[in-house]
Structures are given as C-alpha cells and as structure tokens.
Amino acid sequence: MEKFLTEVKKLGKLKVIEEPLDVNLEIPHIAYIEVKKEDSKVLLFKNPVDKKENKKFNIPVVMNIFANFEITNFIFGKHPDKIAKEIQELLEPKTPNSLKEKINTLLTFSKLRKIFPKRTKKRGICQQIIYTKEEIDLDNLPILKTWPKDAGKFITTGQVYTKSLDGKKYNLGLYRIQKLSKNKLIMHWQIHKDGAHFFHEYKKANKKMPVSIAIGGDPLYYWCGQAPLPNGIFELLLYGFIRKENPVLVKSITNDIYVPYDVDIVIEGYVDPNEFAIEGPFGDHTGYYTPPEEFPVLTVTAITMKNNPYFTATVVGKPPLEDKYMGWATERIFLPLLKTTTPDLIDYHMPENGCFHNLLIAKISPRYKGHSKQIMHALWGVGQMSFLKHAVFVNQNAPDLTDYENLARYILNRITEKSFLVTEGIVDQLDHASYEPLVGGKLGIDATGKPVEKTVKTLADGELLGKIQSLDKDILELKQYFTDTANPITVIKVKKTKPVKEIFNKLKQLKEFLKIVIFVDDYMNDLNNPYMLVWRVTNNIDALYDVWIEEIWGVDATSKSKLDGYTRKWPEDTHCDKNVIESLINRGIIDMDKNFLMKYQIVEEANDKVDQDN
C-alpha cells in the first residue's frame, strides 16, 4: 500500500488531507463526493479521529483506491483488455507451426506456474506488530461509519480469507463487516456467497470456522476479493495470473488460515456456528439501506499489522462510486470466460448506474430465430450473472455499448411486443424490489431485429401532460425521451394514492400518443436527470409484477407498499448528512455547487446554507 501511494503521488493522483477528520460520516462523505468528480483522486486522511469518543487514531485512512480509469490501469499494470486477451489465448490455444511460435507457446504456459500461491514459514510484514488476548481492541482501528442511519461502524474493504471444512478449497471474498464490540464482528455472508457455503459446512458439523480478514496491501488483493470466479477457484490465482508472480502467503498467528504476507492489517478469529447477531441497517451499493438481519459473529483472537500500517476503506451508495472502475475492470477481464458459455457473445457492458447486477447490455451475433433469448437464459445460469435482473441484447451492427444515446435509439427502433422475455430466478440478497426475498422477476429485451415503423404520434410535453392529467389527477409531471424513435419513452411522475396499474389502464385511451410509459413517484425524482432515473428504475422494478406489455408498455418504478400487494419493508435512500456537508463546505474541505448536489442526489434536499454559499 505504501508503494502504491508513493507511485500515485508521482502521478499527481493523490490528495493528502492533514486536518483531523471524523471517522463518523466526515471521512466517508468526503470520499463519496470526491469519487463522483471527473478527475477524482486517491484520498489519504493522515489524522482520523472519533469526535464522539474523543479519540485520535495513529493509523491513516486510504480511500478511493480505484479512483478513476487511469489509476485502475496503473493498479493492473496494463489495460484490462490486455489481460482479457491473455485469458483468451489460454482458453483457445493455437497449434504452433514455426519454431518461434512453439517457443512463445511454451513461454506462455510456463508463466502459469507463477499463478499459484506460495507459503512462507517466516513471519509476514503484516505480523510485525501482534495483539492477542486482552490486548485485542478493534476500537484502535479507524473503522468508519459511512451513512447516518448505519447500525454502526463497518469494515468495507476487508479481504475475507476462509477455507472449506475439509481444507481442500480456499476463498477470498469481499464482504461488509460490522464492528460489534472490541473483539466481535458480524460477518455479512450473503446466502449465495462462497463464504456462506463454507460456513454452512462448519455449522452442520458444529465446528468453529477459522477466518482471517486482511486490510490493505496490494490494491489488487482488494479487487480479487470481488472477482466473480467459479465456485472452488481461489481468487488469488487470478492475482498471480495478472501480476505474473506467485502471491506469497503467511500463516495467521492464531488460526490456520493463510493471508498475503504484505497486507497492512490482519484480523484473525473464528465464527462460532451457534452465535449470531443482528447486522445492519447499512447503506449499500444499491444506494438504499439494507434492513437489519441476523448474521454470524466472528470472535477476534488476534490483530496483527505492519509497522506504520494504513487502513483502507470504500464507500458504497448512489453511483458513480469506486465500484464503477472496479466493475469496469471486472467486465473487461471476464469477457473471455463469459464467452465460453455464450460463444456468440461479442461484448457486454454493465453501467454503474444500473448497479451492475440490475442492468446488462450485450452485443451478440445472432445466428437464428430465438438465439438472443437462448443467450439470455444462458447468462442467467452462469455464476454471479444469475443475479442479473435486466438484460438488453443488440446485434453486431449496434453502436458502441457505452454510446448510450445512440445505443438507446438503436434499441428503441427495433423492439416489438415479441422482443420481451419475462421470467423468474434468483436475485441478489440486497435486491429490495422483489416481492419475495432472494427470488424475483427478470426482464430480457431482444433488440437484434430489423428497424420497425413508428406508429404513435408525437405531442409536445405540455400538450400531452394536459391530456393525461384529464384522465387522472395523481399525475404530476411528464417528460418524453427519444420521440424521434419508433418507441418513444414517456416518464411520468405520480403522487401515489393507488396502484399505478390503475393509472396505466386509463392511459391506454391515449395509445396513439404513448408507447413506453415509465412511472416514478414524487420523491427525489428529477425527470430531467436520466442518469439517476436509470438508477432508480432498474433498482425499483420486479419484472414479474412491474412490467406490462399490453396495448402500451408500462413500467412501475415507484416505491411499493401494501397498496401494491408488497409486504416487505421498502428501504430508504442513502443521503449524506446535510449538517456534515455544510460543515465540510464551510471549512473548505470540499467544494461543490447546488447542481452537483442535486445531480447525484447527495443530500435529501439542498439546505439554505448550501444554496446561499454556492
């Protein structure tokens, strides 16, 4: 980590903040705002404090490690597409014909010996300082409280190392971890994750599960923790492949878990299969608070660290955030592996404002009728892709997948009633829109066909609003998008007093002017902000209940309640604390205007002080 910070500083991409700042909200709020900027930087907070506890920490905090595309390339040592090409060459080796080609092939495969972790019997750099027994005190680590309504402080970049009960499988996962006390943590192992699978093995055998949590070290360790590798493949193999050097592991002091020797901090312990605690709420990467739920408790048996360590953290919430750049690297590197199950896949992209698992756009080479829907089913059955909620498919002639405006036109000019596939499957445990936890609707859209004719008439927004308001008084505003296409989109804001389907049914009377109608409610929805509308809509719909392909096509992206037959508790948005933001602005620590606050919905509403100052 120290080497990384030195190099990033040389690149002019490190922002060092000397002023004492609070681990409760202040530090994460600064990081949250910084990473949304065009040229965001890695942040080093030299003097973290806990104002509530009147405590100073002697460990600096590093945030926004993956701050932008340039730094992400630097971390990998090359563009992720080059790594993908190397994977592709291994998956599809060519028969060498010349002596030179034979030598190159031998060199390529000889490099594979570098991917396997090596264990050292020496003490690791991460074990220069050791705390055990009564010395253990998690309060000495600058663990952050990210959001005002979080249940407490959470470790957010903890590399969680575990192994199967029989010791044959190893796993590195990236999970949030709540601090419960000086020597207790709560492990947020979602039910579909490998860490949870291992835990259930130990629970069935009624044995304590060893766990070691590493913090810091090479930033690539951190990325590997979220890499969507198949079950049973140790994520550090990917580290070795990318770095072209064997990762060196050291045995933990109080358990038999091995961790990278050069991380900054290690928290060792065990999970008792019979000890659980309520974890959460926590403002997660969906931009919503996930509700409190019972998860296993880890008892800490040792804390080790290097001399002069760094504590790393990230902040998750409404996009764009650090996971934008981590996710970009992931989608580029894993394209060849995805092609092994869907060989006619050309490329794919998961926009960060679709929270990745909420939206995928794929370019394919369709060979026959129904091919795109075959690929939809294939993707929904592959690893972490099984959590994907919405997928749109275009053919090889479509614009670049990140050219959103032209791509949207291309899609809207090619879809008919037959383009839609609605099915059911597993969804992410953090998904709140599904009417049943863990299981919900999935929507596939086939836009690989030929252009279709426009059949609806176009009216100005004001004229159309008058017509639809005459049908229902709960309609507040509307904005039309892509009226030049065959299937224009009308986004309608409603004051919700009844199920939206009732309004939708009335609007069928105006089908000569409407094709795709998307409903949002009147809370924090700006109809002129398509970036955040995509975030809201893809988060808030369960295709089984909220998508209607009838005379017109409707999407209900409003918040749900018993009014809709939804019996779960709908979560709250994550918002920065307005008083903290105001204080940081007044002290000159952050600089932003009202438009920036509103664009990314940073606070629930821009208060008078912020308005006056900017």
pLDDT at 572 over 70: yes
Poorest-confidence range of 97-111, 247-261, 456-470?
A: 97-111
Q: What span, in angstroms and rounded, lies between the C-alpha atoms of 601 and 581?
A: 13
Inform me whether the pLDDT recorded for 96 exceeds 70. Answer: no
CA distance 400 to 474: 39
Question: What pLDDT, on a 0 to 100 scale, did the predictor assign at position 609?
Answer: 37
pLDDT tens by residue, 381-426: 877 788 899 999 999 999 999 999 999 999 999 999 999 999 999 8
Which helix (H) or strand (E) segment holds residue 87: the answer is helix 80-91
Residue 104: per-residue pLDDT:
58
Among 218, 284, 564, 573, the one annotated catalytic: 284
Cβ pair 211, 293 in contact under 8 A = no
Q: Reply yes or no on whether the pLDDT at 91 is more than 80.
A: no
What pLDDT does 607 receive? Answer: 38
Q: Among candidates 285, 320, 534, which has minimal Cα distance to 428?
A: 285
What is the pLDDT averaged over residues 429-437?
90
Whether pLDDT at 519 is above 70: yes
- The number of helices, as runs of H, and strands, as runs of E, in the chain is 19, 31
Amino acid at 68: N
Confidence of residue 222 (pLDDT cuts 50, 70, 90): very high
Number of residues written out for the chain:
614
pLDDT confidence bin for 102, thresholds 50/70/90: low
Range of weakest confidence among 92-101, 235-244, 500-509, 565-574: 92-101
Structure tokens at 411: 């899609």
Strands (E) in 164-310, as ranges, are 170-174, 177-179, 184-187, 209-215, 248-251, 258-260, 265-279, 282-283, 289-290, 293-305
Distance in angstroms (rounded) separating the CA atoms of residues 25 and 49: 11
Lowest mean pLDDT among 192-196, 250-254, 351-355, 378-382: 192-196
Query: Cα–Cα distance between 567 and 508 in angstroms, integer?
Result: 28
Query: Where are the CATH 2.30.110.10 domain residues in the chain?
Result: 109-313
Q: What pLDDT score was predicted for residue 178?
A: 97
Asked if residue 86 lies in contact with residue 216, where contact means CB atoms within 8 angstroms, the answer is no
Q: What is the SS3 assignment for 170? A: strand
Helix (H, G, I), strand (E, B) or coil at 223: helix
Q: Is the pLDDT of residue 241 over 80?
A: yes
H-helix segments, 213-322 = 219-224, 236-243
- Residue 105 pLDDT greater than 70, yes or no: no
Average pLDDT, rounded, for the chain: 91
How far apart, in Å, do the first and last CA atoms of the chain sit? 37
Element (H, E) at 481: strand 475-481
Per-residue confidence band for 330, with pLDDT thresholds at 50, 70 and 90: very high
Question: For the domain 331-447, what is the CATH code?
Answer: 3.40.1670.10
Question: Measuring CA to CA, which residue among 59, 7, 84, 30 is closest to residue 591?
Answer: 30
Q: For tokens 């060196």, name the residue.
A: 248
How confident is the model over 253-259, as a mean pLDDT?
A: 96
Say what percent of the chain tops pLDDT 70. 95
d(CA 590, CA 224): 31
Which CATH fold would you assign to the domain 109-313?
Answer: Pnp Oxidase; Chain A (2.30.110)
Asked if 284 is an active-site residue, the reply is yes
- Is the distance from CB of 63 to CB of 32 less than 8 angstroms? no
Q: Which residue has tokens 């009226």?
A: 483
CATH 3.40.1670.10 domain position(s) in the chain = 331-447, 461-564
At 81, give phi and psi (nearest 5°). Answer: -65, -30
Q: What is the pLDDT of residue 90?
A: 80
Q: What pLDDT shows up at residue 231?
A: 79
From the list 279, 256, 255, 264, the residue with the least C-alpha distance to 175 is 279
Residue 246 and residue 111 in contact, taking contact as beta carbons nearer than 8 Å: no
Tokens of 63: 């945030």
One-letter amino acid identity for 279?
Answer: E
The answer, yes or no, to whether residue 235 has pLDDT greater than 70, is yes
With beta carbons less than 8 A apart as the criterion, state whether 542 and 435 touch: yes
pLDDT: which is higher, 456 or 196: 456
pTM of the model: 0.91
User: Is the Cβ–Cβ distance between 353 and 531 less than 8 Å?
Assistant: yes
Q: Residue 539 pLDDT > 50, yes or no? A: yes
Give residue for tokens 């953290």.
Answer: 313
Instruction: Decide: residue 482, CB within 10 A, 0-12 exposed, 13-18 middle, 19+ buried.
Output: middle
- Is the CATH number 3.40.1670.10 carried by domain 461-564? yes
